[in-house]
Amino acid sequence: MDTALQTNIQTCYHCGDSCVEELIVAHEKAFCCAGCKNVYELLEENNLCTYYSFEQSPGTTAKRAAALSRFAYLDDAGVEAQLINFKNDTICKLTFYIPQMHCSSCIWLLENLFKLNAGVSESTVNFLRKEVSITYFHQKTTLREVVQLLAQIGYEPAITLADTDGKKEKKKSNSLIFKLGVAGFCFGNVMLLAFPDYLALGEEVQRDYGKFFGYLSLLLSLPVFFYSAQGFFVSAIQGIRQRMVNIDLPIATGLLALFCVSVYQIVTGTGPGYLDSFTGLVFFMLIGKYFQQKSYDTLSFDRDYTSYFPVSVTVLKENGEEESVAVRNLKVGNRIRIRNQELIPADAILLRGSAMIDYSFVSGESEPVEKVVGEVIYAGGRQVGESVELEVVKEVSQGYLTQLWNDTVFSKNEEQTMETYANVAGKWFIIVTLIVAAGALAYWVPRDISMAMKAFTSVLIIACPCALSLSTPFVHGNTLRIFGKNKFYLKNTAVVETLAKIDTVVFDKTGTLTEPSAAELTYSGKALTREQERLIRSVLQHSTHPLSQRIFQHLKGETLEVQDFKEVAGKGISGEVEGVLVRLGSASYIGVNTDKVKDTLKTTVYVSLNGKVLGYYTFFNVYREGLKEVLQQLKGSKIAVLSGDNDHEEARLRELLGKEAELNFNQSPVQKLEYIQHLKKQHRHVLMVGDGLNDAGALKQSDAGVALTNSITNFSPSCDAILDATAFDKLSKFLGFSKKTMNIILASFAVSLLYNVVGLTLAVQGLFTPIISAVLMPISSISVILFATLSVRFAAKKAGL
């Protein structure tokens, strides 16, 4: 028992937490709670202790484990049917999202589920997605048993309302990869067949094999033309239909000219054609598209409220029995029981118990709100403390919170922004190309008709802005990757361009500018002695109120026995310690007159000993590290703050943000959304940084919505980008860098234009030959790719990202 010899604090063998509150020693190992010990025993019984050999204390704490009866709703056939992906006579297949998954031990245990429950035939983990696909025999076990088993071993799957909505995950399309594969295959083979032309082997080879090589390359480029290049033609036609010129129009024209000329030359035997260039260009451009499409598909950017809501809730039947019911089936008038840390799924009236509702998620208020019996509690709040009983007054879909999602912003599909750099460039490109082509035609027609045709088609071919279209995806794709390395995850590459245009930055306060988990507190009044602090601490330990807990953690000293402890909900607490009457609570509870309005807005807790008021604790928000630097570097843009909280922090915010900043307090989610709309009407490009559901509307409405989160696998509202809280201090750098990438795109435009000028000069003179095209086209494509990639890397290094 070497663990017992160590100094007082031990870490749990199962979860690695330090055993402060409780220490259980069993099987010669230390555990922090009974939950952890039970998991260990369960694993040991089944010979699964290999779990502990891959990583040190791989488990997740089982302290907050709740009753398994809450999974009763999984017995419901309707719920089951929505969760299961596949079912036949013997087996069921389904996939769970398991947020707790974090190491190789987790993979091992989850893939050995069949040893714990014989009804499970197979479980396969996708670690990056934190998913486990389970196949089980539904005659031997049930869905509920499988979920309960997962919950027992500390891997409770996240089953939310969204899963049961019947919205089955859309399958990721592989068509681009297929197209890329086909194009690559054809490109390689056609190029091989074109080699005799490159090496100028001369008449002999051409005469003997020319026809065979030509037709074979033609055969090979057919799939490229009809399948791989399809996307460019479709997009160009769509552009014409909408009377818009996009970058794909000049590309499609170029590709079409290239293909037609090649077919003509091969069929008539007048030349070898340019099919190697044609297939090569399609291949390179598809690589660009692939790069552009790359995103973080393990992160979820499109969540709505249903992803937050639980699937089931405990309903109290008339005879007092508890029953687990799917949230969807919740009816007006149902009595529900909400336990500690559970979410209230529908607007309801409090019937019994003292509710402390943490609305931080919905409204952004930092402190839990006290509710008394008879008050309406809106959906989305989280109960802190004892379990309460409520009566539902509105169905889930009619609730206050869900109304936000009825706003038009959420129903409107995101329209494609046509005004991207590449599309603007494409417009000018095709105009210039057509003028040059017409010029060449006009010049050659009086002199040499065949030369005129050649020059005309050559211009169209060479002016194909393929290199131009490559630069944007590669610059954006690399930027996306660099941001990702710095824990800033963009939804797609288009967001980079949006970020570059930002001139207004709007912040949410609670949880975004402030650290949600920490609050500073100061004490003012008569200084407390060590002994007095001990008395206060002793009383505080009996209260579960979050403010009590915070002061408790702040003070030091051993706790003493308390007699006559009383807690008046929403007011304060009192107790007698060693003959001293200790009272803590609000000003009115203690009996202090607060004249100044300012003080009532602050969160304060007064202290009195033996009826004498000594002073009070004031809580302050703790602002995120690096906030000052970020704000300083954002000086060029307009800054605003939208807070759901009251304005007691105004002075401190003003100091941080400067005079010009707009500060708005007591903002409801809808007001936040309207504020962003108002800014956009002034033609501002708005970046919204928020964290909770209450910001969801504003995030969606803004040009670029950034969700800040402490853990990227946690739920975050629908947004364009997810920023890990640890990288918050780099926010201004990210914005600055995306502006720089626009310059890089312009520079690579210049590089590709250079090639086009050289090519066009040759083309108008009628000097364009297959060998020149074979050299010029790949070189221009590859050099643009290289230029884009390297310069982004270089710029990132310089910017310190």
Partner 1 sequence: MFIIFLLIGISVTVASGFLLAFLWAVKSGQYEDDYTPAVRMLFENEATSGNSKDSSRK
Least Å distance between CB 108 and partner 1? Answer: 5
Least Å distance between CB 477 and partner 1? Answer: 18
Q: Which is nearer to partner 1, 211 or 635 (CB)?
A: 211
Beta carbons within 10 angstroms of residue 326's beta carbon: 19
Cα–Cα dist 31/11, whole Å: 7
Least Å distance between CB 779 and partner 1? Answer: 25
Least Å distance between CB 130 and partner 1? Answer: 11
Q: Which is nearer to partner 1, 97 or 127 (CB)?
A: 127
Q: Which is nearer to partner 1, 109 or 707 (CB)?
A: 109
Given a contact cutoff of 8 angstroms between Cβ atoms, the answer to whether 389 and 351 are in contact is yes
Q: Which is nearer to partner 1, 174 or 417 (CB)?
A: 174
Identify the helix (H) or strand (E) that includes residue 687: strand 686-690
Query: Strands of 704-709's sheet, edge to edge?
Result: 488-490, 721-724, 704-709, 686-690, 504-508, 638-642, 662-664
Least Å distance between CB 118 and partner 1? Answer: 8
Q: Which is nearer to partner 1, 122 or 448 (CB)?
A: 122
Beta carbons within 10 angstroms of residue 148's beta carbon: 18
Q: Which is nearer to partner 1, 205 or 453 (CB)?
A: 205
Cα–Cα dist 233/216, whole Å: 24
Q: Which is nearer to partner 1, 104 or 403 (CB)?
A: 104
Angle between helices 421-444 and 466-485 (to 10 degrees): 160
Least Å distance between CB 782 and partner 1? Answer: 22
Q: Which is nearer to partner 1, 251 or 282 (CB)?
A: 282
Beta carbons within 10 angstroms of residue 505's beta carbon: 26
Residue spans of beta strands (DSSP E) within 487-637: 488-490, 504-508, 514-525, 563-568, 572-577, 580-585, 603-609, 612-623
Given a contact cutoff of 8 angstroms between Cβ atoms, the answer to whether 695 and 672 are in contact is yes
Q: Which is nearer to partner 1, 178 or 428 (CB)?
A: 178
Cα–Cα dist 750/731, whole Å: 30
Cα–Cα dist 556/66, whole Å: 31
| Residues comprising the chain, all counted | 801
Task: Please state whether beta strands 572-577 and 563-568 pair in parallel, antiparallel, or not at all (unpaired).
Answer: antiparallel
What would you report as the CA-atom Rg of the chain, rounded to the nearest whole angstrom? 33
Least Å distance between CB 137 and partner 1? Answer: 10
- DSSP letters, 488-502, are EEESSTHHHHHHHH-
Distance separating the N- and C-terminal Cα atoms of the chain: 48
Cα–Cα dist 552/31, whole Å: 24
Q: Which is nearer to partner 1, 121 or 329 (CB)?
A: 121
Q: Which is nearer to partner 1, 173 or 408 (CB)?
A: 173
Cα–Cα dist 617/547, whole Å: 10
Given a contact cutoff of 8 angstroms between Cβ atoms, the answer to whether 709 and 723 are in contact is yes
Cα–Cα dist 150/98, whole Å: 9
Least Å distance between CB 778 and partner 1? Answer: 19
Least Å distance between CB 195 and partner 1? Answer: 11
Least Å distance between CB 387 and partner 1? Answer: 39
Nearest one of 415, 481, 417, 407 to 699, comparing CA atoms: 407
Q: What is the 3-state secondary structure (H, E, C) of 401-439?
A: HHHHCCCHHHHCCCCCCCCCHHHHHHHHHHHHHHHHHHH
Least Å distance between CB 123 and partner 1? Answer: 8
Q: Which is nearer to partner 1, 484 or 570 (CB)?
A: 484
Cα–Cα dist 531/30, whole Å: 33
Q: How far is CA 168 from the centre of its chain?
A: 19
Nearest one of 158, 105, 348, 329 to 338, comparing CA atoms: 348
Q: Which residues pair with 392 in a beta bridge?
A: 348
Given a contact cutoff of 8 angstroms between Cβ atoms, the answer to whether 463 and 756 are in contact is yes
Given a contact cutoff of 8 angstroms between Cβ atoms, the answer to whether 83 and 159 are in contact is yes
CA 556, 544, 148, 160 torsion-angle sign: negative
Identify the helix (H) or strand (E) that includes residue 126: strand 120-126
Which residue stretches of 269-317 are H helix? 275-293
Q: Which residues pair with 522 in a beta bridge?
A: 618
Least Å distance between CB 323 and partner 1? Answer: 37
Q: Which is nearer to partner 1, 182 or 751 (CB)?
A: 182
Least Å distance between CB 446 and partner 1? Answer: 45
Nearest one of 348, 313, 355, 314 to 333, comparing CA atoms: 348
Which stretches of the chain bind partner 1, using CB under 8 A? 47, 50, 104, 107-108, 111, 114-115, 118, 121-122, 124-129, 172, 174, 177-178, 181-182, 185, 188-189, 192-193, 208-209, 212, 216, 220
Least Å distance between CB 104 and partner 1? Answer: 5
Query: Strands of 382-383's sheet, edge to edge?
Result: 369-371, 355-358, 382-383
Q: Which is nearer to partner 1, 175 or 406 (CB)?
A: 175
Q: Which is nearer to partner 1, 125 or 494 (CB)?
A: 125
Least Å distance between CB 185 and partner 1? Answer: 4
Q: Which is nearer to partner 1, 214 or 353 (CB)?
A: 214
What is the token pair recorded at 1? 């028992």
The DSSP secondary-structure symbol of 57 reads: S
Least Å distance between CB 106 and partner 1? Answer: 10
Q: Which is nearer to partner 1, 99 or 439 (CB)?
A: 99
Least Å distance between CB 299 and partner 1? Answer: 15
